[in-house]
Amino acid sequence: MSIKRITISVPNALAGRIKKAAGNVPVSAWVSDALEERLNEEELERQWEAFYRDVNPSRRDVAIADGMFKRLTKRGGRRGAA
Protein backbone atom coordinates (compact mmCIF):
# COMPACT_ATOMS: atom_id res chain seq x y z
CA MET A 1 0.00 0.00 0.00
CA SER A 2 1.36 3.38 -0.90
CA ILE A 3 1.13 6.23 1.58
CA LYS A 4 0.33 9.86 0.75
CA ARG A 5 1.13 12.53 3.27
CA ILE A 6 -1.52 15.21 3.74
CA THR A 7 -1.73 18.00 6.25
CA ILE A 8 -4.90 18.89 8.09
CA SER A 9 -5.62 21.51 10.70
CA VAL A 10 -7.91 20.91 13.65
CA PRO A 11 -8.80 23.02 16.67
CA ASN A 12 -6.46 22.60 19.67
CA ALA A 13 -9.14 20.92 21.77
CA LEU A 14 -9.84 18.37 19.03
CA ALA A 15 -6.12 17.70 18.57
CA GLY A 16 -5.88 16.91 22.27
CA ARG A 17 -8.85 14.55 22.09
CA ILE A 18 -7.37 12.79 19.07
CA LYS A 19 -4.01 12.29 20.77
CA LYS A 20 -5.71 11.01 23.92
CA ALA A 21 -7.92 8.62 21.94
CA ALA A 22 -4.98 7.33 19.90
CA GLY A 23 -3.07 6.42 23.04
CA ASN A 24 0.03 4.45 22.04
CA VAL A 25 -1.05 4.20 18.40
CA PRO A 26 0.54 6.73 16.06
CA VAL A 27 -1.94 9.56 15.48
CA SER A 28 -1.74 9.19 11.70
CA ALA A 29 -2.65 5.48 11.94
CA TRP A 30 -5.48 6.20 14.38
CA VAL A 31 -6.92 8.97 12.18
CA SER A 32 -6.59 6.78 9.07
CA ASP A 33 -8.52 3.97 10.77
CA ALA A 34 -11.22 6.37 12.01
CA LEU A 35 -11.64 7.91 8.55
CA GLU A 36 -11.73 4.51 6.85
CA GLU A 37 -14.44 3.36 9.26
CA ARG A 38 -16.46 6.52 8.64
CA LEU A 39 -16.18 6.18 4.87
CA ASN A 40 -17.24 2.53 5.06
CA GLU A 41 -20.28 3.48 7.17
CA GLU A 42 -21.27 6.16 4.66
CA GLU A 43 -20.97 3.71 1.76
CA LEU A 44 -23.13 1.18 3.61
CA GLU A 45 -25.70 3.92 4.26
CA ARG A 46 -25.75 4.81 0.53
CA GLN A 47 -26.21 1.15 -0.38
CA TRP A 48 -29.01 0.75 2.19
CA GLU A 49 -30.82 3.83 0.85
CA ALA A 50 -30.55 2.52 -2.73
CA PHE A 51 -31.87 -0.89 -1.64
CA TYR A 52 -34.74 0.72 0.28
CA ARG A 53 -35.70 2.80 -2.77
CA ASP A 54 -35.62 -0.30 -4.99
CA VAL A 55 -37.72 -2.39 -2.60
CA ASN A 56 -40.11 0.47 -1.81
CA PRO A 57 -41.80 -1.19 1.20
CA SER A 58 -45.36 -0.25 2.09
CA ARG A 59 -46.15 1.47 5.40
CA ARG A 60 -47.58 -1.83 6.61
CA ASP A 61 -44.33 -3.65 5.74
CA VAL A 62 -42.32 -1.02 7.62
CA ALA A 63 -44.61 -1.30 10.66
CA ILE A 64 -44.27 -5.10 10.67
CA ALA A 65 -40.47 -4.87 10.37
CA ASP A 66 -40.31 -2.26 13.15
CA GLY A 67 -42.40 -4.50 15.40
CA MET A 68 -40.17 -7.48 14.70
CA PHE A 69 -37.06 -5.42 15.39
CA LYS A 70 -38.44 -4.19 18.72
CA ARG A 71 -39.40 -7.71 19.78
CA LEU A 72 -36.03 -9.13 18.80
CA THR A 73 -33.95 -6.41 20.43
CA LYS A 74 -35.87 -5.72 23.64
CA ARG A 75 -34.28 -6.69 26.90
CA GLY A 76 -35.89 -9.70 28.44
CA GLY A 77 -36.44 -10.47 32.09
CA ARG A 78 -33.30 -12.64 32.30
CA ARG A 79 -30.84 -10.09 33.61
CA GLY A 80 -27.31 -11.27 34.02
CA ALA A 81 -27.90 -14.31 31.83
CA ALA A 82 -25.04 -15.14 29.49
Domain range list for the chain: 12-73
Concatenating the DSSP letter of every residue in 39-81 gives HHHHHHHHHHHHHHHHH---HHHHHHHHHHHHHHHS--S-TT-
Closest C-alpha among 32, 1, 27 to residue 14: 27
Which pLDDT belongs to residue 80?
Answer: 54
Which pLDDT belongs to residue 1?
Answer: 79
Which pLDDT belongs to residue 67?
Answer: 95
Which pLDDT belongs to residue 79?
Answer: 56
pLDDT (tens digit, 0 to 9) for every residue of the chain, 82 residues total? 798 999 999 999 999 999 999 999 999 999 999 999 999 999 999 999 999 999 999 999 999 999 999 999 986 655 555 5
